Amino acid sequence: MFLNWLKPNTIQALHIIGLKTLIHVVSLYLLISTYYLALTGDIGGDPVQTLTHFTGIGAFNLLILTLCVSPLARYLRQGQLLRVRRLIGLYAFVYAACHLYVYVAYDLIYDWTLLVNEIIDRPYITVGFSALLILLALTVTSLPALMRKMGKRWKHLHNLIYVAAILVGIHFLWSVKSDIVEPTLYLGIVAALLVLRYEKLARYWRR
C-alpha cells in the first residue's frame, strides 16, 4: 500500500492545513445539508428520526475517528497528524450537541423539566447525556490557554474520552428496540481501539 511508502514525518504543516480545511468543509456541509433537507421535507417520511440518527451516529463516527488518529499517526510515523485530533473531537461534540437539540426541540418541545425527568428515568438517556457532558468538558479545556494552565491534569481529564466512547456505545445499544447488530459493531470497534491502548490505560489506572 502507498501509505507504507511514506517516510517518517513527511506530512508538513501545509498538508495539515489542507486536511483541517477538508474536515471543516465535510463536517459542516453534511450537518447543514441534512438540516436543510429536514426543514424542506426532502429527507423521508420521518425527518425528526432521520435527524436524530444522523447527528447521533455522526457524533459517534467522529468520536471513533478521533480515537483512530493516534494509532494511525504511530503506524504511519506521521506525528503531524495528531494536530487534527482536537478538531475532529470538536466536531464530535458539535454533532452530539445537535443530537441533543433535535431531541429537546422536536421530541420534548423545549420542555426542560421533562428533559431532566428523562435523564433521570431513562438509563439510555442518562448515559448519553453523561457522555455529552464529558465531551463538553474536553471541548472547553482544549483551548490552548486552559491546556497550559491545567498542565498534567489536562491529560488526565482528556483520558475520559475513552469513557465517553463507551458511554456513547451503550447509549446507542440501549436506544435501539430490536436490531442490535449496528451498535454491537460500533462497541466492537471501541473495544478494539481500547485494546490498542491497553498499556497506556493500564499505566494510567495504576497511578
For residue 113, the tally of other CB atoms under 10 A from its CB is 8
pTM, 2 dp: 0.91
Return the beta strands (E) in the chain as ranges. none
**Would residue 2 count as lying in a domain?**
no
Distance between CA atoms of 29 and 58, rounded to whole angstroms? 12
pLDDT digits (tens, 9 = 90+) for 81-109: 999 999 999 999 999 999 999 999 999 99
Number of domains in the chain: 1
Distance between CA atoms of 52 and 49, rounded to whole angstroms? 5
User: At 206, is the pLDDT very low, low, confident or very high (cuts 50, 70, 90)?
Assistant: low
**Would residue 86 count as lying in a domain?**
yes
Mean pLDDT of 63-74: 94
User: At 2, is the pLDDT very low, low, confident or very high (cuts 50, 70, 90)?
Assistant: very low
Q: Is the pLDDT of residue 23 over 60?
A: yes
> Cα 193 to chain center, whole Å?
14
Distance between CA atoms of 129 and 92, rounded to whole angstroms? 14
pLDDT digits (tens, 9 = 90+) for 116-142: 999 999 999 999 999 999 999 999 998
> Cα 43 to chain center, whole Å?
24
**Would residue 1 count as lying in a domain?**
no
Orientation angle between helical segments 13-39 and 47-76, nearest 10 degrees: 170
Task: Give 80-138 as a DSSP string.
Answer: GGGGGHHHHHHHHHHHHHHHHHHIIIIISTT-HHHHHHHHHH-HHHHHHHHHHHHHHHH
Distance between CA atoms of 88 and 69, rounded to whole angstroms? 9
**Would residue 3 count as lying in a domain?**
no
pLDDT digits (tens, 9 = 90+) for 43-65: 877 899 999 999 999 999 999 99
**Would residue 4 count as lying in a domain?**
no
**Would residue 6 count as lying in a domain?**
no
Q: Is the pLDDT of residue 36 over 70?
A: yes
Decide: 78 and 9 in contact? Cβ < 8 Å: yes
Decide: 101 and 112 in contact? Cβ < 8 Å: no
**Would residue 108 count as lying in a domain?**
yes
Q: Is the pLDDT of residue 1 over 50?
A: no
The predicted pLDDT at position 8 comes to 73
**Would residue 119 count as lying in a domain?**
yes
Q: Is the pLDDT of residue 202 over 80?
A: no
Domain hosting 103: range is: 11-206
Supply 64's cell numbers: 471513533
Decide: 185 and 199 in contact? Cβ < 8 Å: no
